[in-house]
Structure 1
Amino acid sequence: MPVLDRRYDIDWMRVIAIALLLIYHIAIGFQPWGMMIGFITNEKSWDALWIPMSMMNIWRIPLLFYVSGMGVYFAMRNRSWKQLFLERAKRILLPFLFGMLSIVPLHLYIWQRYYHFDTAYLPGPGHLWFLGNLFVYVIMFAPIFFYLKRQEHSRLVNSMKKTFSSPQGILLVMSVFIAEVLLIDPMPFELYAMTWHGFVLGMLAFFFGFCFVLCGATFWHMILRWRWLFLAFAVTFFIIRITYFQSSAPTYMLSIESNCWIISFFAFAYKYFNYPSSILCYLSRAAYPFYILHMIFLYLGSYFIFPLDIDVRIQFVLVLLATITACFLTYEFLIRRIPFIRLLFGLK
């Protein structure tokens, strides 16, 4: 595996993670409890859809934080700490504030109209809570990350590389995540948004994501060698969870399963996706605006499609296509072409 100046597999992982987030949010609209967490919910539920979603739900958000930590490593290569703060403020803080004041109130307005509630302007983090956490992590860890980057060949960093580049190092990482759920005791594990569990879990994933890239090729070759074992453990834990524990699996077990999925995903992406492509170039730029925008078009699609008397599976496909198409058209013909709007959506 050649060592590349740019890690295309990390770009692919970010794109895939945001795509999974979009699919997951659409799936919530087909569960009977969706309205309780602020989603427009179809009267006809699709229970079987939740089996793959429950598999994905315990690792999709930690994956995004891992990848974000990796991205900071590359962002630091040619920047001082002041330049990094300014760049992350433009890329993260500005879209977060803009989204709180405009994107979130708009999709909540659609939700209010669908359920015939009194309409009101409701600013808030909504689905963009992730960005708020991420900016805090950058501020928190910048001194540590810059120190480690400057001391990349020191005894401390070499010791970190040796530790994390072994299967025992992965077990050490997992033990930290297990300690988090044992101390915080989240109920449920998958409730990340605006909770202490979500904040600490994201913080750990962000930190270790940076460390994994800092370790260099030895870490990636190690997980590549053990990728099938990590995947086998992930599948085994998932099968035990849905057949024996169902919705009440211990949180420490969920933490182990989550990291097994993520590490195996890292390894397979490193093996198969670490190459440039024009498709990746486009998608890696579009993914961020898609994430910010998608709830508006998801709610609009649900608003018009859920009342239709058609099969629930067709409704799912129609909402998915409507959301993706509307996000694409808005990105391609508005966000991408107007510099001021590009800035609001975190694009350079």
Structure 2
Amino acid sequence: MTHRNTGRRKVGSTTVELTELGFGAAVIGNLYRTTSAEDASAAVDAAWEAGLRYFDTAPHYGLGLSERRLGAALQGRPRDEYVVSSKVGRLLVPNEEPRGVDSEGFVVRDDLRRQWDFSRDGVLRSIEESLRRTGLDRLDVVYLHDPDDHWRQAADEAMPTLADLRDQGVIGAIGAGMNQSAMLARFLRGTAADVVMLAGRYTLLDQSALDDVLPTAQELGKSVVAVGVFNSGLLSSDRPAEGMKYDYQAAPPDLVTRAQAIAEVCEGHGTTLPAAAVAFPNSHPTIINVTLGMRTAEQVGRNVELHRQHIPESLWDDLRARGLIRSDVPAANGPGRSARCL
């Protein structure tokens, strides 16, 4: 069944617009386990049929496999109808000492390895290679990928290079993506970034982005894309349990207990913990998109249904009152935030 498109929101002051729900392509790069080419293609097809038009990838994901698969699956679709983002900062170079399988979580051969490079030449080379792997004529959004330990070169060389390409019309929007929020606020305030990809720092279990990147984005009229909204899995099931992951590690018992408490409140309001986790980032007016990893057509269907669920405003009020989320979390449909369009 073909669904109508999700609502679209503009990236900062650019002309790029993202659908509210995005397709995260890391998993089709064989993140943690093998995904067949057929399943990867079917996932993109299902996302397209559901109205998703924002697709995010990176060279890091499967040592280029994610980019190749995403580009192949999008081939032949109207180019002006969808937005693709990729990332720079990790060049893929020949691996002189392969051991057979990638050591950074992707089930792929390690004939290539990643090499950090936020120089101007490195950025230009990375974009050129991403275009070759995807077969696309352009990248609509380009992020600096995990520049945590490379602030100076990323801010002084990589971001100005991306700004030049944006100003020439080669790229539509530029930014940075990280698992921390403080440096993302620095990128928004101190560089030409239009948007940041915020991983795991504005979720039902972690609202630390309210202290830095979210107010900065609101002040400057810039945008935020939210990823990692399940915090590596702890928020992905109706009933959180011991042994589940939180930020790539075994979840601490106190967080499991808190997630269980939130799940009970969700049930009392006629919804589920995963649906609330997907909806929660929309409580902040600067967050224009939630991107979720989608490995198969079945996962796409589940994620779309989670995103479509109506979440009563009373749920957030109840979570605030019980101290399960911060008291300064804004109302989901408060000033600057329209109702979700899906």
Structures share fold, TM-score greater than 0.5: no
| TM-score normalised by L of structure 1 | 0.32
Larger relative helix fraction: 1
Q: Which has the larger radius of gyration?
A: 1
Larger relative strand fraction: 2
| TM-score normalised by L of structure 2 | 0.32
Bigger relative contact order, structure 1 or 2 (CA pairs below 8 A, ≥6 apart): 1
